[in-house]
Each structure stands twice: as C-alpha cells, then as structure tokens.
Chains A and B, each alone.
Chain A
Amino acid sequence: MKKHKDKRTVLGGLGVRLRPYRGKIALMALSFLVSTLCDLALPTVMSEIISRGVNGQDMNFIAAASGVMLGVCVLGVGSMVAATYLLTFVVNRIHAELSREVFARVHGMDYALFQSMGTGALITRSASDIEVIGMTLQMTLSSFISIPVMIVGGTALALWKDPYLALILFAFVPAIGAVVFFVSKKLRGLWKRSNEYIDRQNSLVRSRLIGIRVVRAFNREKTEEEKTAEATREMADNIIRANVRSGLISPVASLLLNLAIVAVIAVGAVRMTQSQLLTAGDVLAVIQYLLLIASGVVSVFWFLSMIPRLRVSVNRVDEIMTAPQIPPAEDLGKPPFRGEVRCEHLSFAYGEGAGEALSDLNFCVRAGEKVAFIGGTGAGKSTLVRLLIGLARPTRGELYFDGEDSARMSGQRIRSNVGCVLQRDMIFSDTLRGNVTAGREGISDEEVLSALKDAQILDFAQKNGLDYEIAQGGVNLSGGQKQRIAIARSLIGRSPVHIFDDSFSALDFLTEANMRRALSERLKGETQFVMTQRVSSAMSCDRIFVLDGGKIVGEGTHEELLRSCNIYREIYVSQTGGAL
C-alpha cells in the first residue's frame, strides 16, 4: 500500500489530478444526490396516492400528489442531465491528461528501458489500459454518491414501511448480486478463450492469403480449406460456450427478483393480518424499492468483478509512470562537432550476463572520412549504430567525438550532430513534406526538394506533390521508396557525421549507384559511416572495417582487405562468385 503514496502512480496521483475539477465534482455529486432522492421519492408518493388518495377517498390529494410526482420527475431528469454533463467532462478530461502524460513519459524513457518493456506491451498500456482506467473512473464518479444513497435510502424507506418486508430485501438482493459477480467473473475467461479461437482462425486465413502462391503452386487449396473449416467449427463452439454462459445472467437474476416480489406479497399479507398500518400501497412501494436497490447492488457487484482487471491495468500503467526519465539536456547550446569519431576499447552487452555484442573496438575516423563497416546479420553493425547515436552507452571503453568523451554528453546533443538512417527507419503517417522535415521547423520546400533529389526520389515527389499523404506504415509506398524518403530525411540540415545503416538494401543497383554519386557530392567534408552487407556498397569507401561476431577482424581499402582478410574475401566470393 506504500506504493500508492507515490504521487507519480495512477492512484497516488489521483487526488492531484482531480483537484482542478473539485468544484465541478462537488456540483456533480450534488446533482447525483438530488436525482437519486427523486428516484426514491416516486414510489413513496405513489404509495401515498393509493393509501391516502384512493383508500382515503381524497380526490384533492390524488391531484396534488400527481402534481408533486411530475415535479419530482422534472427535478430528477434535470439534475441527472446536469450530472451527466459534468461527469463526461471531468472523466474525459482526466482520461486525455493521463494518456498524454503516459505518452510523454514513454518518450522520455531511456532506449534500453523502452526495449526491455517492449513495443507491444507499451502500446497496450498507452491505449487499452488507460481506457480501462478511464471507464472505471467514470463508473466510480457516477456511482459513488448515487449507489450508496440508493441502497441505504431504499433500505431505510423499506424498513420504515415495514421491517419484516425489508428482511426479504436482505435475503434476495445479495443473492442477485452474487450471481452477477460470479457469472461475470467466469465470463471474462470464456470471452478471452473465444477471442483466442477467433484469432486462431484469423491467422490461419491470413497466412493462407499471404502464401496464396505457394498454396496454389503445390495444389494444396483442399488442405487449407479443411484447416479453415476445422478452425471455424472450433471457434463456433467457443463462441457458443461464452454466449450461453453470459445469457444465463438475465434469466437467473430476473427469476430471483421475481421470487422476491412474490415473497413480498406473501409476507405483506401475513403482516397485514397482524397490523392495520400496512396497506396494499405500502406493499407496492416496497416492491419498487426492491427493484431500485437490486439495480444498485447489481452495479456494485459488476464493479467488484471488474476490479481484478482494473488492478492489472493500474499496475501496468504505474510501471510507466514510475519509470526513470532521461534528464533534460543542458548541453544543446554547445558548438557542433567537427566530425572526428574515436573509439577506445569500446564494448557493449545487452544487459548483464548477456554476451558482448561488441567487444574491444578501437578505431579513429577522421573528420570528412567515409568508412564502411561490413558484416553479416549479428555481426554488431546495428549495435554500433546505437552507440554512435547515443541510444545506447558503452558497457566498457570510451567513445569520443572530437576528443570529447561522449559519456559526458546528452543523447540529444549527440543526435543533433549525428544524422542517421536506421535499418528499419519509420515512415510516419504524415505528408511527404512532414516526413522529410521530421518536426524540424523553418525548413523551406526548396531544401526538402533538394534532399529528395539527392535521395533519387524527386520524380515521385514531383508526380505526387509534397502534400502527398503517406498511409500508416507507409503501405502506399514500396520498400525502395520508403528507404529513399528516410535517406532524404537524414540529409536535411547539416550534420557533421552521417550514418547509413543498411540503407540501400531495397534499391536496385542502378539507383544505388546514382545515389552514391549524389551523396558523395552533397556530403563532401562530412564524416560518413556506411553499415552494409554488400561488398558493392562498401568498396567505394575510404576505409572498410570488417565486423564479425562483434569484433573488428579487418581494416583497410577494398584491395588491401582482399589480400589480408579471409572473412572479407569469403563475403566477396559469395556475392560476386569470384568474378573480376
């Protein structure tokens, strides 16, 4: 429970979050109170109409009481509408604030922490977990006044009418609540199961559609059809099971409620033999109270059955809220790098106990030099990129920019000096212009177009315009187009150091050759790192480093390495068949 004292957590910070709205919340609570009292008043007035009006032969009373009833109705609906207005305002506001805060905190995390929490998990937390919290907040705020008042007031009124009749309420109402509680608790598992089967059928059909050429080539449509049919039947079984269980709530709850009504009438009759004070109108009123209380209790138990899920969501969001944040950068005003990059005994491991992804790297790249790092998957190229742009920090050894130790620089400063095209660089759902400028301000269309030109994608930009809307995930672009837009983005603004991480893999050879020519013109005098698997991309560089298993196993020009480095020669032979 100590955890909730932490003001950063969802529950601990709830007070702080609600404070700005305390006036609205107080008004809302008052409105809910009024509307609940109105709900309770109606059966009471009605029973008076029967007892005093009809039985007491008082026509004036009937008219007056009906007028009162109408007035109560108007007051009830008026306060309810006001309460709903305030409720939706406050809840949605807090929901929006909470989502923004979580979002900002995720983006303020360290890259390693982000990776260890996982993209998928963080998306769930930022979207559906907050959704659950918002929903619960809405339920809580809307019922923290009305439900207790409804239950307590209804019970009090029933006791006032007749204590023995009220006893029936105590017997039946909790039973109804319990049924709702247990069935809905069970249901969650069943729905989850049935969703799993829906997913299974979906992924089967999806895989079949994606592999349609293979399926057809091997004439296996029949097998696929049978598999789908089987999965569909299983899915139907599970859906039926969940539906049938959830369909149980309503008949059982209404049966219990109806039994209670019969019991009230029967006990009412018995009580009337003993007491002159109880009238038929009173019995009717108790039945109405019963209905009101039952609906209140049902929502309480429904809420209780939600708590486990709420707790999971709150804990997951709290993990984000309490996660450490990168301190704000204070060294952004310092002059830009000249472009010299030096490593001394640089090593890196993903987490403790994991093997070293990079070990004991030593190199010095002069300002304006163009170097390549060549190696297969798992050689450590992408890890090196992360270190060079400050997304990860060396486990051992040092990385210097212009002789200054990068350990004393903020990641933001490093990244504002080192431009990088990542291996799987994201293309955002934004305009073409927005993707190239990437949130940097004051960039003219000329600059954007010149970057697009050097990235060999000017024809596309001219055909579609800079306002071309790119769909999410860049689905309306080919792999090569995405890669070229990412390259154009990195060319905007002057970075003293450039990194291209496998950035030409989706380009055909002619385009790559043209791009290389344009880049060497544009980036003259700036340091370049080319991370690649292709000899053809590496051979034009001033120096080539051969990475294998996280170590540098060769260094030199293309010709030198062909003579001196076995691994380089192997790569070369596999890619060229030994020609030239």
Chain B
Amino acid sequence: MKREKNIVFRLLRDMKPISGWLVLVTVMALVIIACNVVSPLLSGEATDILDRFWHANAEGEPFDIVCELTPVLLWLLACYLVYSFFTWLKMYTLNQAVSRYFTCTMRIRLSDKISRLSVGYLDGVKPGEVLSCMTRDVSNMGNSVHGVVDIVLMCALQIVLVTVMMFLISWQLALAVVLTVPLSVFLSALLAHKGEKYYDKVTASWAKSYSCIEESYTGYATVKSYNMEAAVCDRYAAVTGELFESSRRAGFLTGCVQPVIGFCNNVVFAVICLVGGTLAFRNVIDLAAFVSILLYARQLSTPLSSLANGIAQMQQVKSSCKRVYGMLDEKEMEEKEEALPSASEGEVRFEHVAFSYNDSPLITDLSFTAKPGQKIAIVGPTGAGKTTIVNLLMRFYEPQKGRILLDGEDISRYSRESLRDKFAMVLQDTWLFSGTIAENVAYGKEGVTREEIERACRTAHCDEFIRKMPDGYDTVIDENAGNLSGGQKQLLTIARAFLSDRPLLILDEATSNVDTRTELLIQSAMDELMKGRTGFVIAHRLSTIENADMILVIDHGDIVEVGRHRELLDREGFYARMYRSQYANVTPR
C-alpha cells in the first residue's frame, strides 16, 4: 500500500516541470466549466421568454420579444463561442505540455538509463519489454496527466457546481435528479467492469489466433511438407471459436453500456418532466427553471461516467508507472574514474577467475596468460563458456572471483571506457545500424576522413563490393541490412575494427551461410587484422587456428587442454577427438 502511494507521489513529483502549464490549463478548465454552468441558465431563460411571449400573445397583451430575447441570445452565443475556443485552447496547451515536456523527457530519461545499465541486466530483459516500457507505459503516464486535468478537475468541479446550481434553482427538482442520476453511473460502471473481464479474454484469444496465423504462414513450407494443412485449419477453427464466444460476450456487454446510460438519462428526463411539470403547474417554479434543470441533468451524467472510467484507467497507469520506475531504479554499473594508462603492451592475464550467470557455476577457476602479439584461440563445444571469456574480458560481466590483468594492472580498478578503448571486436552476430556504409564503418572511431574509411575497407577486402553498390560508400543500409549478404556484413565489421586500430583484438568467427570465395576473403582480412596485435579468436572451425600461438580448449567453463595445434593432436585428448569428429569419415561402410 505504501509503495503504491509512493508511486503516485513520484508521478506527481515528475509532473513538477509542467506544473506551470497545468495551472494555466486549470484556469482554462475553469472558464469551460463556467460556460457549462451558465449556458443552461441562459437557454432556460430564453425558453421562458418564448413561453411568456406565447401567453402574452394568447391574452393579447403587448410583449417586446426582440428587446427581451436579443440580450439573452447574444449572451448564449458568446458563452458557446468562449466554450469552444477554450476547449480547443485547453486541448492544445495540454497536448504540448504533456507530449513535449513530460513524456518526451521521460523517454529520454529512460534512454539515458539504458546507457548506464550493465550488459548483464540488458541480456536478461527482452528488447520488446524495454520498448513497450518506453512507448506504451510512458504514454499511459502521459494519459494520466490528461486524466488528472480532464477527469479529476473538470468532472469533479462540474459535478459539484452543477449540483449546487440545481439546488439553487429548485431543491425539489434537484433532489429528484440527484437521486436518479447516480443510478445510471452505477449501472454503466457495473457493465463496463463485467465487460472488462471478457475483454481480457478477447485479448488473450485474439493473440492466440494471431499467433496461429503468424506461425502457420511463416512456417508455410513446414506445414506443406508434413501435409498439416487440415490439422492447422482445425486448430485455427478452435481458436476462432473461442475468440467468437469471448468477443460476442464482451461486445454485448459493452454494447449495452450506451443504451443503459441512455435509458437512465431518459428516466431522469421523465422524472424531471413529471416532477417539474407538476411544480410548474402549481407555479412553484417557472419554465426557465424547468428547462435549465433538464439541461443540467444531461451535463451531470457524462462527467459522472467518465469519472468512473477514469478511476478504472488509473489502475492501468499504476502498473505502467511501476514498470517505468522499476527500470529507472534498476542498479547502475559502478564506474571508476581512473583510466588505464594509454599505452598498452597487450599482455592479458586471467588469475583464478570464477564466474556464473546464475546459480550453477560455469567458470570455476580459470588462469592463463596471453603475451603481447600472441594469437590465442579459444575452442570448445557449444555452451562451454567461450563467449563468457569475452564477456569478462570486455567487462560486460564482472567475475565473481579472481582478477583479470591488462599489462599487469587489475582492470576492475579502472574505468570500463578506458579498457574498451584498447579492444577492437568482431562478433559473429554482425551488428550494423540503419545508416550509410561509411557511417557504419566509421562507428569505431570519431572524426575520421573518407580517405581513412576507404583505406580500411580496402584492407578488409570490402572496397570492391561497396563500389559496386548503387551509392557506393553512401549506400544506406536498411534495418535488416537485407541488401548485404552475411559475408559482406562480416567484412564491414572487420573494416570497422581496422579503422578503430586498437592494440587488442577479439574475433568471433562466423559459422555458416558464407560462400567459399567470401570465406577466403574474410579469413585473409582477419589474418591481416591480427598482425601486431594480441588477438583472441573464438574458433568454430578448427582449421583456422592451426597457426595459433596458444589454443585454450574449454569444456564446461574450464580449460581442459592448452597448447599448440600439433601438441594437442599428439596428446590424443579432447581436442584430438573434436578435430577427428570434424574431418574423419565416421560412418563405417
């Protein structure tokens, strides 16, 4: 309970920067309400004048209709004009304030937060969740501002003022209205609440039917190859049957809300006619009062039901706030100020490093030394912990025990930025962003010239295919880089590493989907890149590491064998077995 209060309090505090705007909007809202309260009085007055005019006519008495009616109508006109103008102005101001100064700021704050969160945390969340937090949840929070102004302020004030006005005009009629109007609100809230339950079901079964469509279309060839068409159609029929049932119920319940509200309004209408007619008949009230109350009653039911809706909506805002503040409160990485010395020999030492992603230990005690300029190959089956070593080396994750030294300095005592400045990295999952090829290659180093970019591309063997593209180096790579092959993407990331020119290097080899020619190019580019640098190669193909200075054979997170290619083969151990399984003709014939 206390936490929930805190969230509301925090939301209000975050609205502080726009409080000036909110005050302005409140003033506008007051004007609008004033118009709402005054206009029924004026229309009632106008009707009464018409009625008196009719009576005067009937009895042949003189009655100056123009003189009586004109001022009332002019006031009414002015009132409506002011109402519409201020409704527009309020909407405009509120939108500017909320979208520009509240939700936008909130989103930028979340974006800043991302850059201070650890890779470990970001690995654990789905990108979709972060995105929905940044877009949907924040816009829900923005809606809550609209809600506070529109619902709490406008509706509550209007309800109070309208009720007071009715009592001032005629307490008997007002009482009749006050007793009947809440009925409609209660009924519609009840229906909406019931409908909501069904809407949850509708959403769930809609998602089911959508995913049925999506996967059976994406896997169209699979469906065909197993002759599964009939089975898939049966499944879809069952899912749509569920969807039909839930959306029919939900649709019926919500479809009833409007008629029921209408019905209640009409009952109020009838009650006013009965009570008002009787009172007017006995001359307790005049026709003006009768008409004004009739119009006020209509003004009462709308804000009451939106107040009920608004309260339900606030529930949704609360869970959105929880997610947004949850992310903003997430623990940030600790960052050291001190930078590593800028010159680097390139010696890397792991000393009794232990690490696990969760409870089950992965790396228990890892030690090795990479001398400057050496090529270190890391091999082992999938899931053995090859990538983990890179994660620790780049400080995407921190070891739980032991330490990692670069040129004899414990890297955890310095800033991550200064450490990463020493490494260039080429990963198996090539990452290119939507931008030009030149921008993508230049990502590793700021302020480079086109000259340097082209030189790096030539060294990485990608100059040739880049020039063949429609706009050369200015070709825009779309989001999925669909206009490039897997091998070409790999070459671009190698060029990126060349350009950044760092003393240490991490290479993760591509496994498949590269044609032979490109593969040879990649290989020669990687060899070129490796020259004069301390390099760590995560190898998937054993052939590429035969010339490595040291091969670390990893299984279950620990080094099971160390040595050069020949030594390891002669040892007839794990490495030799892996090597054989890759090349030997295992099927006895």
Contact = CB atoms under 8 A, between A and B. Distances in A.
A480 interface: yes
A477 interface: no
Nearest to A228: B111
Interface string B405-442: 00000000000110011011101000101100000000
Ranked nearest first, the 9 interchain pairs of A and B with the lowest CB-CB distance are A426-B219, A439-B231, A376-B515, A577-B543, A211-B431, A77-B263, A66-B274, A280-B51, A80-B259
Interface in B39-60: 39, 43, 46-51, 53-55, 57-58
Given A54-B280, A255-B81, A377 B515 contact: yes
Given A80-B259, A219-B420, A232-B104, A69 B270 contact: yes
A55 B76 contact: no
Interface in B457-481: 479
Contact of A251 (B91, B122, B523): B91
Contact of A283 (B50, B77, B262): B50
B229 A243 contact: no
A429 B231 CA distance: 14
B104 A233 contact: yes
B586 A422 contact: no
Q: Interface residues of A toward B: which range?
A: 35 or more
B99 interface: yes
A244 interface: yes
Nearest to B107: A232
Interface in A34-91: 35, 39, 42, 45-46, 49-50, 53-55, 57, 59, 62-63, 65-66, 69-70, 72-74, 76-77, 80-81, 84-85, 87-89, 91
A565 to B, nearest CB: 13
Contacts of B248: 88-89, 92-93
B425 A217 contact: yes
Contacts of A39: 262
A553 interface: no
Contact of A473 (B100, B215, B291): B215
Given A247-B88, A283-B47, A103 B213 contact: yes
Contacts of B122: 209, 212
B233 A103 contact: yes
Given A59-B278, A209-B127, A258-B83, 10 more contacts: A54-B290, A65-B277, A216-B119, A218-B420, A240-B100, A247-B88, A259-B77, A377-B486, A377-B514, A505-B511
Contacts of B1: none
Contacts of A221: 115
A114 B54 contact: no
B218 A119 contact: yes
Given A209-B122, A510-B381, A216 B396 contact: yes
A57 B55 CA distance: 13
A550 to B, nearest CB: 14
Interface of B: 39, 43, 46-51, 53-55, 57-58, 65, 69, 73, 76-77, 80-81, 83-85, 87-88, 91-92, 95-96, 99-100, 103-104, 107-108, 111-112, 114-115, 119, 122, 127, 130-131, 134-135, 209-211, 213-233, 236-237, 240-241, 243-244, 247-248, 251-252, 255-256, 259-260, 262-263, 266-267, 269-271, 273-274, 277-278, 280-281, 287, 290-291, 381-382, 394, 396, 416-417, 420-421, 423-425, 427, 431, 433-434, 443-444, 479, 485-486, 500, 511-516, 519-520, 523, 541, 543-544, 546, 577-578, 581-583, 585-587
B217 A122 contact: yes
A232 B226 contact: no
Contacts of B421: 219
B108 A232 contact: yes
B51 A55 contact: yes
A203 interface: yes
A338 interface: no
B224 A415 contact: yes
Contacts of A540: 585-587
Best-surrounded residue of A57, A99, A213, A219 (most CB of chain B within 10 A): A213
A95 B57 contact: no
22 contacts: A50-B290, A54-B281, A54-B290, A77-B260, A80-B262, A81-B259, A81-B260, A85-B252, A100-B237, A127-B213, A205-B130, A211-B431, A213-B425, A232-B108, A250-B87, A272-B65, A412-B227, A426-B215, A472-B215, A489-B226, A510-B381, A540-B587
B255 A49 contact: no
| Interface secondary structure of A, over-half rule | helix
Interface string A227-257: 0110011011001100110011011101100
Given A50-B287, A70-B270, A232-B107, A214 B427 contact: yes
A100 B233 contact: yes
A224 interface: yes
Contact of B277 (A66, A73, A259, A580): A66
Contacts of A209: 114, 122, 127, 130
B107 A248 contact: no
B411 to A, nearest CB: 14
A576 B583 contact: yes
Given A209-B122, A232-B104, A66 B228 contact: no
A218 B443 contact: yes
Contact of B80 (A107, A258, A415): A258
A225 interface: yes
Contact of A574 (B54, B76, B523): B523
Contact of A377 (B43, B396, B424, B513): B513
A154 interface: no
A272 B57 contact: yes
B55 A55 contact: yes
A207 B111 CA distance: 13
Contacts of A252: 84, 88
Interface in A409-427: 411-412, 415-416, 420, 422, 425-426
Nearest to B226: A438
Contacts of A575: 519, 541, 543
Interface string A537-580: 00110000000000000000010000000010011001111111
A108 B229 CA distance: 8
B220 to A, nearest CB: 6
Interface string A376-406: 1110000000100101000000000000000
Contact of A266 (B73, B443, B543): B73
B217 A111 contact: no
B252 A88 contact: yes
Contact of B228 (A219, A279, A439, A516): A439
Contacts of B112: 225
B134 A205 contact: yes
Contact of A415 (B51, B217, B226): B226
A145 interface: no
